[in-house]
Chain A
Amino acid sequence: MSKDLVTLLRELFAENGLDKYELEIFEEQGQIRLSGTVDRWEQVVLAGHLAGGLRDVRGVVNEIAAAEGGPPPYEAPPGDPTVIGKADVVIIGAGVVGAAIARELSRFKLDIVVLEKESDVACGASKANNGMVHSGLVQEPGSLRSTLNVRGNELFEGVCRELDVPFHRCNLAVVVFNEEELFLLELLKARGEMSGIPVELIGPEKLASLEPALNTAIKGAVLAPTTAMTCPYKLTIAYAENAIANGARFYLNTEVTALEQQNGSIYKVVTNRGSFLTRYCINAAGVYAGRIAEMAGPPEFTIHPRKGELIIFDRESAAGHAVMATGILEMIRDPHTKGGGTMITVDGNPEWGPSAFEVSDPEDTSVTREGLERIIAKFGPLMPGFDARSAIITYFAGVRAATYTEDFHIAPSRHLKGLIHVAGIQSPGLAAAPAIAELVLQILAGEGLALEEKAEFNPRRRENPPFSSLSLQEQNRLIREDPRYGHVVCRCEHVTEREIVDALHRPLPALTLDAVKRRTRAGMGRCQGSFCLPRVAPIIARELGLPLEKLTKSGPGSELFSRRTKESPHRKEAFLS
């Protein structure tokens, strides 16, 4: 059996031109380990995928190096062994998964610490995805991705209601343009039914009644009505704030540098800012989950980053996006844009994408000309009347943390007791997050963590509604309370000074311009901050007590201004005093 897997893989390598490299293949109980050197990064990924795609392969560790185009060198900051705290559970990574786990654990009598290397929560894929709460339609039935997606979707609306996060159900339509392809829809429908989710096969008339702007040449569609949209970073912030309200502690700008053990169990998590004693640790480090895992022993999986680019359009062009749409053939044909679709964000902006490009650098969030062109070429035909190019207001990219088996890897470490890997959380990680947290609680309980509910747990978290959404009477009441409500700072999104001040003083404070933007939408409108940046920056600096020169866009190294000008009023004050 084990010999067969290796032989099979050798054959596949030969078929794909990888046999000219001296690659080593080890197999043990369905776990494959690859090593050697190839020329290019694409070949590294190809080898990993050939292994991960084999039936009976449960995991792939891909240590093949690329002579060219490999990941940039990484230098960890020095760790500080000084113990600065202890916790029952330390969670590494404050993306949506880490924050969801923190919040679910905060139901119990536990000390919870969350460590995040960036200056805010949701700084990786959790902020840079399309906000889609998938139904589970396209997932391989029986995979962990499928199971947790379907369960997560069930839980999602309740979570959003408790945490005051936007959640809008909207149909996903997977469409075909040719009669001969209608059978593909039948197959997709059958797949959805196997996963136990509501699906409906519809004709062009029904689709046109749902969204008349879609291409009239469309011959049919599978609808997945449990699909929904949320705001991924607002959800992460809400999870974090609710966890904090229930006693969890978040440490930002804090990077894990080592895991220390005692008698085979985790004992200490070392960071650049001090160390934490703990008996349980969750590895929710996203694209860096592999790096964290290797701090505990030999690698158990390999993450290969896959970039997804997204385009956001002006709200004024929102017509045509009542249904999320995607073409089934494009899903199959073009490996670079297999997911995604046309959709509308909870803030009312049309959104297209994401693309899918394998990258070696886990921080490659650049948007390429090719990526933008592919998105427009792929989704443009769905909506012939939409002038995509002139409606663009922004674009961005996130990096998916995929494993080579292309499934979630959620399991205790094989080397270090108390360490739980929550890795490979690519799409539909957002939709699955509530279910992932549920599963992690079960695993922790199985590993011996006592989960004793605390009576004072408050599942609810509230956010003030945007000032601009209030009635004239309510607005006047607030302005009487604080005139800063009457000072509109962001002209595109109508964000007031008071709302910015609030964002800076919430339980999880915003420390950067981008963090303020994510919480208030100041700078997210059609001018993309060119009007409000010079006005928002002084407010942030004033409230945080920072000199303006120290203010950053997204944390250390992203300073917004280089210095004061020679005529600055600041200098005059200094001169006079």
Chain B
Amino acid sequence: MSPIQVAVIGAGPAGMAAALAAADAGADDVLLIERDDEAGGILNQCVHDGFGNLIFGESLTGPEYAHRFMEEIKRRSRIRLLTGTMVLNLHSDGSLKAVNRSGAFSLKPGAVVLAMGCRERSRFQAVIPGYRPAGIYTAGAAQRLINIEGLMPGEKAVILGSGDIGLIMARRLILEGAQVCGVFEILPRPGGLTRNVVQCLHDFNIPLHLSHTVTFIHGKKRLTGVSVAPVDEQGQPLLERERFIPCDTLILSVGLIPENELSRAAGVIIDEATRGPRVDQDMATSVPGIFAGGNVVQVYDLVDHVSRAAAIAGRSAALYAAGYRRVGGRLLLQRGENVSAMVPQQLSLPLAAGERINLYLRTATEMRGAAVELRHGEKVLYRKKMRIVRPPEMIHLELEASLFAGLGGGDALTCRVAAEEVKQK
């Protein structure tokens, strides 16, 4: 194999965008490695629409969105797509070991982009007591079964968690002729986007039970039902109000976790808030030459953002492989009040004139009338008013490099979301 300049691990919406950006930034040989037998990742099983509004200006299905990227990839001979290939290990020098049906091999590319995406929290990570029968599926597994394998996970389902995939699966099950008893959400607010609550639940008369959880899983062989109960403000179930719902299927949409086993193996530092690599504005991780993009960094709510952020990683990897480095120290970005997660966690200096910094953050609580602030000590560098901020909806800011003029390596900035003072008339 000729020397690979950039290896991208994962050919989902992140990896495809990263590979394109790497090639377009001048990398001669980009290897796009995908464990499934085709590129596209989770997009392939997302037959609903809503993808691509930001990038393509129209609402596409998952496979259509993937197809658009694949068409571009096919036009670039610099990108080689290697499907059916699993990366088994990654080292801190960027060398990796992979295996496919033709053999096992090692390679040491000039730079690596991590684009492994995320995985779903299981029933066990959500610590739901009870038996372990057949009929418990994560929403993503159920989606794959129905949309790709053509198999029904069951006929009468309870859905725990109102994350976007849970909401979409509620509708999907109804469309396939199954019953959905209801969606139960432990928080007092839905976990998914408002549009999905409306289009997937309200439009299909599926009840949404907020501040509720599943307290016990019944059934020794196949699921026979679940117990559900309301929860108090601390999220503890009120067992005296527990009730039994007969059903044969429990679908879980209880959170996504960035998939960072390879990152950890390479010694990449993981941020405790995002559970993904700590990155700078180039999506460079703590290990030189290893970049990360997409849901492996943090779980985005729109695929367009996944691809955009990963494109930055791809471009940066190409520049790194070509010898480009930022050598001016780092600005630290710290989470302040009401910020539950933020990417990037640092800025590498120097900043280029006219460079725009993409800052993504999530608030800890829902607020009406809020302002996002970036401060250096008491000095407010940036302030943006928001009519409403909600934890499920990520805030995306594009900041001008000029904001950071005068700051040097080691300086720390704090980002916070504060209530906007209401002016009395």
Residues of A within 8 A of B (CB): 316, 363, 365-369, 371-372, 389, 392-396, 468, 472, 475-476, 479-480, 483-484, 486-488, 491-492, 494, 526-531, 533-534, 537-538, 548-549, 552-570
Which segment of B73-81, B142-150, B184-192, B340-348 sits at the interface? B142-150
Among A395, A533, A537, A565, the residue within 8 A (CB) of B124 is A395
**Within 8 Å CB of B144, what residues of A?**
534
* 13 residue pairs bridging A and B, Cβ less than 8 Å apart: A367-B129, A372-B127, A389-B127, A393-B125, A486-B103, A494-B86, A494-B88, A527-B119, A534-B145, A553-B222, A559-B222, A563-B152, A565-B146
Alpha-carbon separation in the docked complex, A325 to B150 (Å): 48
B424 at the interface (CB under 8 A from A): no
Decide if B375 is an interface residue (CB 8 Å cutoff): no
> Other than the known A559-B134, A566-B176, what 15 A-B pairs have Cβ atoms closer than 8 Å?
A389-B127, A393-B122, A468-B88, A475-B103, A475-B104, A483-B102, A486-B101, A494-B88, A527-B120, A530-B119, A530-B120, A554-B134, A560-B153, A562-B178, A563-B155
Given contacts A565-B146, A570-B150, contact A392 B127 (CB under 8 A): yes
Does A565 contact B152, Cβ atoms closer than 8 Å?
Answer: yes
Chain B residue with minimal CB distance to A534? B144
Q: Are B84 and A487 in contact (CB under 8 A)?
A: yes
Return B48 CB to nearest CB of chain A, in Å. 15
Which residues of B289-311 have CB atoms within 8 Å of chain A's CB atoms? none
Q: Are B104 and A561 interface neighbours, CB within 8 A?
A: no
Q: Which of B132, B152, B222, B264 contacts A365 (CB 8 A)?
A: B132
Which of A486, A526, A552 sits near B104, CB closer than 8 Å? A486
* Chain B contact patch, size range: 35 or more
**Bound CA span A190–B123, Å:** 45
| Docked pose: A563 CA to B138 CA in angstroms | 18
In the complex, the chain A residue whose C-beta lies closest to that of B177 is: A566
- B202: chain A residues within 8 A (beta carbon): none
| Contact call B129/A369, Cβ cutoff below 8 A | yes
| Distance of A527 Cα from B119 Cα, bound (Å) | 7
CA A394 to CA B150, docked complex, whole Å: 28
If A565-B152, A570-B150 touch, whether A367 touches B130 (CB-CB below 8 Å) is yes
**B→A interface (CB under 8 Å):** 35, 84, 86, 88, 97, 99-106, 119-120, 122-125, 127, 129-135, 137-138, 140-141, 144-146, 148-155, 176-178, 215-217, 220-222, 248, 261, 264
Instruction: Check A366–B129 contact: CB distance below 8 A.
Output: yes
* B151 near A561: Cβ-Cβ < 8 Å: yes
For A496, give the chain B residue with the smallest CB separation: B99
With a CB–CB cut-off of 8 A, which chain A residues contact B221?
A: 552-558
CA distance A156 to B371 in the complex (A): 67
CA distance A337 to B127 in the complex (A): 20
Q: Is the CB of B127 within 8 A of A530?
A: no
Q: Output the least CB separation between A532 and chain B (Å).
A: 9
A285 to chain B, nearest CB (A): 18
Known contacts A561-B151, A564-B152, A565-B150; decide if A533 and B141 are in contact (CB<8 Å).
yes
Contact B151 A531 (CB under 8 A): no
Closest to A361 in B: B220
Smallest CB gap from B116: residue in A = A491
When distances are taken between beta carbons in the complex, the residues of chain B under 8 Å from A533 are 137, 141
Docked complex Cα distance between A263 and B125 (Å): 58
Q: Of B104, B106, B127, B132, which contacts A479 at CB under 8 A?
A: B104
Please give, as numbers and ranges, the residues of chain B lying within 8 Å of A528 by CB-CB distance: 122-124
When chains A and B are docked, how far (Å) is the Cα of A568 from the Cα of B130? Answer: 33
Q: Is the CB of A476 within 8 A of B103?
A: yes
Residue contact A393 to B138, C-beta cutoff 8 Å: no
Instruction: Assess A562 versus B119: contact at CB under 8 Å? Given A366-B131, A475-B104, A534-B145.
Output: no
Residue picked from B100, B150, B178, B264, most chain A C-beta under 10 Å: B150
Q: B119–A476 contact, CB under 8 A?
A: no
A365 to B222, CA, bound (A): 14
Residues of B within 8 Å of A393, CB to CB, are 122, 124-125
Most buried by A among B100, B103, B217: B103
Q: Is the CB of A392 within 8 A of B222?
A: no
A562, B152: Cβ atoms closer than 8 Å: yes
- Pick the contact of A553: B88, B134, B138, B215 (CB < 8 A): B134
| Contact status of A562 and B120, CB under 8 A, knowing A372-B129, A483-B101, A530-B140 | no
| Cα distance A567–B176 in the bound complex, in angstroms | 9
Contacts of A560 in B (CB 8 A): 134-135, 153
The one of A479, A529, A559, A563 that contacts B99, using a Cβ cutoff of 8 Å? A479
Choose one: B106, B133, B145; the contact of A561 (CB below 8 Å). B145
A563 to B145, CA, bound (A): 11
Give the contacting residue for B141; candidates A534, A549, A568; CB below 8 A: A534
The one of B105, B122, B130, B149 that contacts A530, using a Cβ cutoff of 8 Å: B122
> Which of B35, B125, B178 has a CB less than 8 Å from the CB of A488?
B35
Contact A486 B102 (CB under 8 A): yes
Are A476 and B122 within 8 A (Cβ)?
A: no
Residues of chain A contacted by B102 (CB below 8 angstroms): 479, 483, 486
Using known A-B contacts A365-B131, A486-B101, determine if residue A530 contacts B222 with beta carbons closer than 8 Å: no
Closest to B123 in A: A528
Contact B104 A472, beta carbon cutoff 8 Å: yes
Residue in chain B with minimal CB distance to A570: B150
Pick the most buried of B124, B133, B261: most chain A CB atoms within 10 A of its CB.
B124
Contact check, B153 vs A562: say whether CB atoms are below 8 A apart: yes
- Write out the residue numbers on chain A whose beta carbons fall within 8 Å of the beta carbon of B138: 530
A392 with B125: CB separation less than 8 A: yes
